[in-house]
Amino acid sequence: MIFEEKEIRLKDGRTCILRSVRREDAADMIEYLRTVSGETDFLLRNADEVTYTLEGEGDILENKRNAPGELMMVAEADGIVAGNCGIVSRGNLRRVRHRCGFAIALKQEYCDAGLGTAMMEYALSLAREMGYEQVELEVVDGNDRARHVYEKMGFRESGRVLRSLKYDDGSYRDEISMVKLFD
């Protein structure tokens, strides 16, 4: 889905544009994915598992842009992708079409400046306008900053996947499921 572009000012004075993703973002998005995957253990992927081709990634972004019931939001700062978040449909079956999923990641240099909060506020308002009744997400146990932001936005814990992630050193981490109900 394509939504209205918005300019926001971060706590440190930098500005960002929040906008729908475009096919032309493909190279920048691949670089962004490699960067964020290498900067934190709180995402699903290792940096060496970002293996998209330019054309494949372009197709994914184009599909996201045009998918009704889904959105991918880019935070653009100084002409590059500083962060990204998405609303993902759970499908069109009548019993699940009231639900959507949410995920977000920012480059480290843009963390802690209010960007995540601003992106979530905008994405959640769009999810509501799209007709969803609840938004669901997972957060890795120990990701206290993300959990704090999610709780601030009205999410609450709804379950836990034990040993959800296994790291290269053999250690595990649980994932906590959270939900925000729009009522």
Locate 160 and state its tokens.
Answer: 């836990």
Binding residues for ligand COA restricted to 119-158, rule: CB under 6 A: 139, 143-146, 148-149, 152
Q: Which residue has the tokens 């499921």?
A: 177
Amino acid letter at 38? G
Q: Is 109 in the site for ligand COA (CB under 6 A)?
A: no
What is the C-alpha separation between 179 and 183, in angstroms, rounded?
A: 12
Could you tell me the CA-to-CA distances from 110 to 9, 36, 85 in Å, in that order? 12, 11, 14
Half-sphere exposure of 64 (CA within 13 A, CB side): 22
Task: Considering the complex, state which of residue 131 and residue 142 has its C-beta at the smaller distance from ligand COA.
Answer: 142
What is the C-alpha separation between 44 and 170, in angstroms, rounded?
A: 15
Which member of 17, 31, 40, 97 binds ligand COA (CB under 6 A)?
A: 40
Which member of 74, 77, 116, 124 binds ligand COA (CB under 6 A)?
A: 116
Which member of 112, 121, 133, 157 binds ligand COA (CB under 6 A)?
A: 112
Which member of 35, 114, 164, 177 binds ligand COA (CB under 6 A)?
A: 114
- Contact set with ligand COA (CB under 6 A): 40, 42-43, 104-106, 111-117, 139, 143-146, 148-149, 152
